[in-house]
């Protein structure tokens, strides 16, 4: 299937009534993931407290709209589909932002893991590359899109440190063990 057509295929036969879509989203079970998503029977990672939170607001035309975050260093970005997906490519897209956040977070986790192992020097020049792929799920009965993420670590050959970073990184935990997600309406 041609990439542009794949990303922009019509939503025929899908729920389009806004009220029905909202009700369906709100009726999703919280903290419940299919067992095949949980890895070794683990449960969703809950939080007993929080030390920081980030808030972002999307407005406008979704993937062609605006997203902004307030806080210590406010950020406002114009969003756009990549050219390959039929957009003008004149803005950022959620997959770019996810890749940036994950690679940065994993690098921090890698540095912490190396430091805890008294081998901080092993990651002095390390880099983490994240590739985020958006595509259709293999399951033909699953609607929408899915993600595949590939991380590559440069400058660190220690598997134990890389594995420790993967276990510590909140992005890795969210993707492998689930996250506590609440969808609320205002």
Map out the domains of the chain as residue ranges.
3-177
Run of H or E including 161:
helix 159-168
Cα separation, 106 vs 128, in Å, equals 7
Fold of 3-177: GMP Synthetase; Chain A, domain 3 (3.30.300)
Per the document, the length of the chain is: 186
The 10s digit of each residue's pLDDT in 50-107 is 889 999 999 999 999 999 999 899 999 999 998 988 888 899 999 999 999 999 999 9
The 10s digit of each residue's pLDDT in 130-141 is 999 999 999 999
């Amino acid at each position: 299937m041609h990439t542009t057509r794949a990303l922009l295929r019509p939503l025929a036969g899908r729920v389009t009534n806004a009220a029905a879509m909202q009700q369906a989203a709100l009726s999703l079970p919280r903290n419940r993931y299919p067992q095949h998503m949980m890895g070794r029977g683990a449960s969703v990672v809950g939080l007993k407290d929080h030390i920081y939170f980030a808030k972002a607001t999307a407005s406008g035309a979704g993937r062609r709209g605006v997203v902004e975050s307030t806080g210590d260093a406010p950020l406002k970005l114009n969003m756009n589909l990549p050219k390959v997906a039929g957009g003008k490519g004149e803005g950022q897209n959620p997959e770019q932002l996810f890749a940036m956040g994950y690679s940065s977070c994993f690098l921090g986790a890698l540095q912490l893991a190396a430091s805890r192992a008294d081998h901080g020097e092993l990651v002095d020049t390390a880099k983490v590359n994240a590739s985020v792929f958006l595509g259709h799920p293999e399951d033909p009965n699953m609607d929408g899109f899915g993600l595949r993420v590939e991380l590559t670590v440069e400058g660190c050959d220690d598997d134990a440190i890389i594995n420790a970073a993967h276990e510590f990184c909140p992005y890795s935990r969210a993707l492998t063990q689930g996250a506590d997600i609440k969808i609320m309406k205002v």
